[in-house]
Structures are given as structure tokens and as C-alpha cells.
Structure 1
């Protein structure tokens, strides 16, 4: 059993006799989405702060109509109608603008929300995660600077800037390091008293619907006779979710568990499965798909200023981080990417130069130091509109340009950094049936899970919810709206909304 496993022990096998309790909610993933939802399900309730003024006059008028009613209990579709911003999800925009009213215009207006702790509204739940609270933020190299502004990384009712001030630190260029963010999320869980709901070191291997009768002869009776279940009796389902997996003990062993839940929330993010190119030789030992491989190689002195170049494939921010890291260590780089440098879809063409000087520098290098045109930057060559054809056992890689012309280069290692996909192998058919296009794998940008925009419940599977990148919200500031929508829906199901 995990050291913090006092409140809801993980069930390892169904009991022979009745009495198996079914949890109302299990959240898979303990990153920002899972933490925020746990906060809202723990009885923390947002209200419109009286006498506060929101810069959006129509939203202000709506908020003044029922200030005594929690935002969780209001009509989220009505409140979010007409809002515009950097997310396509209306509730994501709503919750963001309530917490940071004019942040997109550089303003620092205070949140128009006030938070009350109403324990009687709490819904029992568990949050399962592989790492410490914070999810994938613990897997990112600690000195990396976040793309988003530091204050956008904060969670409800504990501003990130305030936490950083307590550490006697400030934000560099309004941005934070990955290590700061990971520590802040751990601190948030402790500060808000959520740790009793978290089970770290757990790996979920299967989520499936099962008949309540099949769990035990008495289980369905238990569900209906108030054995801890919070649903209205007329909304009872004879099916529940069975969540199977294993957890790592302090001694390093693994133990299996099974939990039964009336609702399951998918909040696993997309960091798990790096994208592969699908070319010959990509499985060779010198070809890697994570930035950490370069950091490890530098630590081990296996690459350096005298090495053959490191090949970096990709034109996103992770590839840029790898280039900056290699440049800092004087490691020669060959940089290959499919797009034109001037392509408006390239992330560098969308970032303000003043706020992101280091990424602007990488963009300059990509433009000014191509194989065809020598520039001022040492140890770097860019190959726009090229792709990798193959990797050889002799550490030679073959590149091809848009005209079919091929070139071979000797390299020391390769980093394929072209994005990542969620790992939903624990769902039937890898979760493909849940996607907007059910013929294609789930992808956070091109093919997210199809959810109701005001509840975040999956349209194809009632009782199953998806948050964060899985539902198309790719920034921390916007994932919290999904948690608000899901919490509002779950409170209604549990009849925890005031009349």
C-alpha cells in the first residue's frame, strides 16, 4: 500500500461477500488538469467577488445577476457566450478570464472570483499518477523556461507569482523554469490539503465498463442503498468502470490494484509517446526521441565540441530547446525540418520577439545559417524543407530535399523532436473510438477526444470525461476551464448543487 493510502485503499481483489464500494470519481493523471479538478471536487467553490469589476461589460452584467450562486452552479454556456480568446473551448475562456481578467492585454487586474471551502459539497475521488503531483512537469529538464508567462501557470486561489516571492525569487522575462512549476504543483496539493486524494507511483493498464452485478452479487444493492454512492437513485446505471493497474511500493516492487468508479476522468496529457518518423534505422541506439538523451550525452561526455554533429529533427519548441542547449555546450548541430522558414504555421512566426528572445535567436539561425548560405553562427547548419530518409548503422543519415536531391551526413547522435501523442493503451482500441474522427488516433491538435464543450463528458461514452490536451486544451491556463466544466457536471450528477 502506498504511504498515503489511508483514505481510499486501492482494492486488490473483489471481496467474496458484498460491501465493495464504488468511488464516484477516479481521475487518471495528476498534472495541472487533475490537480485543479481535485481542488474543485474537494468542496472549494468559486463565487463572483462582490463589488469587483470585470473589463468585459456583458460578462460583468451576467455575473451580477446571481452573485450568491456559485459559478459551478450557474449555466456555463450562458456565461461563456460571446467570449473570445486563445482557446476554442468556451468554458476554458470563461474560467481564464474570471481568474485573469485582462491578462492578454498585458493587464494585471485581480481575479473577480472569491473561493469558499464548503466541505459538504465534496465528492470522494482518487487521483492516480505515475509521478509526484505535477505530472509531466517532473520529466522536463528543470532549467527549461516555460513558453507561457509564469502567472499563466498558476492554479486557482494560489497565484504562482506569490509562491515564487515566498522563495525570494522573481520571474525571468515574466516566465518560469520547469523546476519551479513542478515544485509549485506539489506545494499546491499540500497547501490545499488535497494529498489524501492522490496516489502517486500508479500505472493504469486498463479501463473498461463492467456490469455491476458481475463484481459481486451484492454490489448493485450496495450502490443503490447508500453505501457511500452519491448518485440519485433514478440515475443509477447497472454499469461501472473497472480501473486496473499496478503501483510501485517503497521497496520497488509492484502490486496490482482494481478500483470501481461511477465516473472516470482522463487527464493524462500527451507527453508519453514521442512521435516517430517511421524511417529505416530509426530504432538504432544513437537515434533518440527525447531531449533528455542529449542532456545525458553531455553529462557522460559522449558528445562535445569535437564530436560529429548532433542531428536535430523538428521545428517546434522542443527542437529549439535542444538547439539552444547544444549551442550553449558548443556542440555542432545539423537541423532538419520540413517547413519553409517563413511558413506562418511555424511557431516562431507566432511568438513576440521581445517576450521570447531565445526562440527568436533560433529562428534567426534557421534563416541565416543554411547549408546553401553560410552565416554568422558557428557549429550550426539548418536544412529547411528537408526530411530524413534513413539512419545507417555507421551513424550516417541520408537527408532529402523537396526536389528529391539526397545528401549523406555522419552524425554522433540524432534527436527526433517532432511532437508527442497521448498513450491511451489502457482504453479499448487505444481510445480511437472516442476521438472526433474515430478512424484516426487521438491527437491533441488535430484529433482530440470528442467532448461536450460545457461538461467535458465524452460524447461516445457517458461517465467518461477528458481534460487538458486530450480535449484540445494545450495550455495550463486553459485546462482549468475543463476542470470547472467537469466538476459542475459531476456535482449535478451527485446532487451536490444547492437548489
Structure 2
């Protein structure tokens, strides 16, 4: 921060850079966080008398002294009682101020004005694998957003427009946003973060230096590599903000199906383009019941290809879309509901079906020019489908299988999981008899005693999360194959004889972690230990990262680690600025 700029004389080696804050992820979450960290301060404007905002909110806002920034106010008090499409109170508050009465269809001027203050600037760096915009660059360019344009603009831009934008337009806006807000110096693209490690804190070192920009103040080491050169990248920092999104890893079916399938809409579009020029007579298979699966069906039919659509009950998200605003998705929803008797062009639904077998068929693919696609993507294959109601088996031949059953975040850079704080123990009786680990009563008592305020906050989040009804895509689409080399291992797990993952937060005892052949994947990739339910993988809809609602600090982690965006269940861009406001305000209020 700019409150103490005098050099302290402490230096680092040439391959290490110190920043007060490292932001992981350069999508909309990282962009708006950088905008606030760069010294842009929000102030409340005069509220028009005829603006129909919540009266209790109006009363609380009227008590803010003129000239006081939102960084200096009690944001939780202002957000009290607000309701909306976010589980987090400060994102709801910020949305009410940036887009007042948006849910009423009113496009009113923002109630926030931004003023640049160099004294409020916090030195930071934003790291991203690709260009600014994150996942928006991975979608097919012509796919349209669910949110209207007014919900997608980031501060300080005025929210305007009711039309849905293309993914290309949003990606372009993100690139321009960084330049327009003069944030280029804070962004470093083309970097993959591999680990976030906590640095042991020495009291003597802190006593010798009180400069907030001194490397001795570092609490974390963020390590990665440059995608182009492969060079090592290392940053020391006092705080880390995790906003890497929740769609890095596509949910897949069983391995014998997944290796023949595509899981990206952009890849499916390229494959459909190639196949449309080579062989339109071969049917294509799409698996899934949500918005992404509907996009897959639309992409195939637009290329003149026949889509065989395997789905369970259509997702609630499709059912809630208004036909006037979303005619494309509502058409797919209608075709799903019509069932086999619908007789729609280039579309055959298979309700309550799942893939049980995929067998490659030898054929000549020399005429298919698809160098950028996976080897098995366009090869001819015989697919067996099982009707889950009648148990009948149907066979068909296809060249293209697209599976869109949700996605998960990739939190592999938190793979160390701050091992002195979180210990994930794998216990599989049949896999390794000597691996049984019993929880000690003392550990439970110590955890309850030392982290009671964290438990209260997590309990509140769990109650709030239960209010939202989301479908479990893994169960809906038949992802029940968890084969293990151990005979009847799944039966043992169902009978309660195996507790696959036991999470002991803040365990001081370092016991050997046992690897179980039931799950060959690194357990830390899915963020075990960080969710509202620490025994389950982090999921932006069903099990978001547990945070302190007032600051967006991660509860089950050392101080100074923050999260926002889809990782904390804010899956709409409109709510992301509120998470950034919460954490930046917390940083200013808790200067070293």
C-alpha cells in the first residue's frame, strides 16, 4: 500500500518478485479486483427520491457520512436483509448499488462513483493462463450469453443494454477493459500457477521491519511457469486472491467413454465443422440436460448434423428461461420435453438413457482433415445405450460424442493444501489394510475450541446453500462408474465399510497420507477441505468454497487467502464486484 513507500533495504534474489497481493485468475473476477486494488475507490452518490430501491437499504445508506468511501463503512450492516440471486450479502449489496432495480427491469444509473486515490493503491499482480477474460476466450464465438449486456459490464462502466451478447463480444470487452482502465502493468498473461505455499512467519524478522512492502512481510509463495518459455515464475506476497473460476475441468463419464468423447463446446464446434464437410449422414451423440448440452445440440443442428440427445429430466435452468428472451434454449427444451414422438428435424431425444459401451469401428478416415482434434474424436464408433426405465439396450454408430454434464474447478495449485493446516487421509480397507486412521477426540475438541467462529460462519453458509436447488450433474447423467482394482470395493463403500476421504482441518499431527487405488487422481485437485462441506469436492453450485461473508477470506486456510466469483457460488458476473469490494475493503481495514 502507498502508506509506506520508503525503502527498507531488504531484497530478494533475482528470480523472486515481491507483491503485496497476488491474484490468481484473470477473468472478470481478477479484472475487477485489480481495478479496485489499483486505487479506484467507490463512493456513494445521491440517491434519487423516485428510485424504487429497498427502503431499509435507503435508510441505511442515508447514514453514511458524505465523503466516506465504501471501504470505510460496515458493509455487512448495509447488506443486512437483502435478498437476491447470490448467497453472499456484500455481492448483493454492490449489485443493488451498481444496478439498482435491475431485477425489476429498470436500467437506472449507478449509485456508485469511482475516484482514483494513489494512497489507496495496493501493489499487486494478476496471473492468468490466457489473455484477460479467462474462460470467455474458450467458448465458441457465436454462443450467446445467458445474462443481458447490462449485467456483464464491470465498474466503472455504466451498465446498459438488454440484448444478449456473443462470447466473442464479451472476450473482446475483457481485453479492452484492462487497457481502458490502465491496468496493463498489473497483468501478466501466459502463466500457469502450480502451487501456493505458506511461508513460516518469524517474529524477529517482523520486529526489524515495519514497511508493508518489505519482502519480510510475505506470508505466501506463489509458484508457476511461463507457458511460452517454460521459465520458473515465483512471487512472494502477503495475500493471495483465488478467482480462477469453476469450469477448468469438465465432468466426465466413465473412462472407457470419456476417451472417445469431447467435453468442450469449442472443440465440438470444430469437430462439427469438419464432419459437416465430410459425412453428414453419421449421427452425433450429445449427453447432458443443461444449458451447455443445449448449446451442443444447437451447434450440431446448425451444421446440418443429426443430434441424438441423451438426457435425464431437463435442467431447472432451462425450464426457467423466458421464451421471448431465450428462444434458442427454449426450442431445445421443448424438443426434450416432446420426447421421441416430437419428430423434430435432425434431432432424436433419448430420455433416461446412458452410454454403457463405446467400441471403435475400423474405417477409412484419411479424408478427414482434423489435425487439431483428438485422435479418437472423429473415428467411427459403435455406441450402446441403456434405457434406465425399461433396461432395453439400443445400438447406433456415430463419429462424434459430446458430453456436457457440468464442470469443476482446478485447484491443483493448492495441492499442498497447507499440510500443516489440513490433512486429507485416504482409508480403503481392501486397498491397504494398514492404512486405517482413527480420529482422536482431542483433535476434535481442539478444532471446536479454536475455530468456533469459523464453524458458525460455515453453518450459516450451509443453511443458505440449502435454499438453492441445483441438480447433481454426475448423478443425473449416469456418472456412477468408480471402478477400483479391489473386488466389490464400491459395495463396501455403500455398506459403510469404507470412509474414502476423512478431512481433519487444522490438524497439528502430520501422519502419513495413504494413497488409495479407488481414486488415482490427486485429491487436492478438487479442493477437498476448502468447501462448505470439507469432505466433498469444491463445486461452484453445490459446495462452494467456505468464506467469511464479511471479507471473502477462505475459512479453512491461513489468514490472507481470499476467494471470489464462481468458486464462492457467484456464478453471475453482476455479483462479482461485490466480492472484490469485500476483500479489498478488508485489506484496507487491516493494514499491517
Q: Alignment partner for residue 226 of structure 1, among 199, 205, 211?
A: 211
Map 1:5-84 to 2 at 5 A.
Answer: 15=13, 22-53=18-49, 54=51, 55-66=53-64, 67-84=66-83
- Per the alignment, residue 288 of structure 2 pairs with 314
Q: Indicate if the aligned counterparts of 2:39 and 2:118 stay in contact, CA closer than 8 A.
A: yes
Map 1:100-139 to 2 at 5 A.
Answer: 100-139=99-138
Q: Alignment partner for residue 348 of structure 2, among 359, 374, 381?
A: 381
Show structure 1 runs of 4+ deviating over 3 A.
Answer: 19-22, 51-54, 220-223, 301-305
Counterpart check, 1:280 vs 2:256: yes
Q: Distance in 2 between matches of 1:72 and 1:358?
A: 42
Q: Distance in 2 between matches of 1:281 and 1:140?
A: 23
For the structure 1 residues 355 and 134, does the alpha-carbon distance in structure 2 shift closer, same or farther, using more than 3 Å as the test?
same
Q: Structure 1: which 5+ residue stretches go unaligned?
A: 1-12, 162-170, 231-235
The Cα shift of 1:445 comes to 0.7
Q: Indicate if the aligned counterparts of 1:297 and 1:303 stay in contact, CA closer than 8 A.
A: no
SS at match of 1:423: coil
Q: Alignment partner for residue 164 of structure 2, among 168, 171, 175?
A: 175
- Per the alignment, residue 141 of structure 1 pairs with 140
> More deviation in 117-126 or 301-310?
301-310
Deviations 1:139-178 (A, max 9, x none): 11111110001110000111354xxxxxxxxx6x611111
TM-score by length of 1: 0.85
TM-score by length of 2: 0.72
Counterpart check, 1:330 vs 2:304: yes
The Cα shift of 1:14 comes to 5.4
Q: Alignment partner for residue 388 of structure 2, among 396, 402, 415?
A: 402
- Per the alignment, residue 198 of structure 1 pairs with 187
For the structure 1 residues 45 and 294, does the alpha-carbon distance in structure 2 shift closer, same or farther, using more than 3 Å as the test?
same
Deviations 1:393-431 (A, max 9, x none): 231112112222221111111000111100011112333
Q: Distance in 1 between matches of 2:324 and 2:47?
A: 36
Q: Distance in 1 between matches of 2:33 and 2:409?
A: 20
Counterpart check, 1:482 vs 2:579: yes
Count matched residues.
Answer: 449
The Cα shift of 1:366 comes to 1.2
For the structure 1 residues 225 and 374, does the alpha-carbon distance in structure 2 shift closer, same or farther, using more than 3 Å as the test?
closer
- Per the alignment, residue 361 of structure 1 pairs with 331
The Cα shift of 1:486 comes to 0.8
For the structure 1 residues 223 and 81, does the alpha-carbon distance in structure 2 shift closer, same or farther, using more than 3 Å as the test?
farther
- Per the alignment, residue 208 of structure 1 pairs with 197
- Per the alignment, residue 316 of structure 2 pairs with 346
- Per the alignment, residue 530 of structure 2 pairs with 434
For the structure 1 residues 296 and 458, does the alpha-carbon distance in structure 2 shift closer, same or farther, using more than 3 Å as the test?
same
Counterpart check, 1:96 vs 2:98: no
Q: Distance in 2 between matches of 1:270 and 1:378?
A: 34
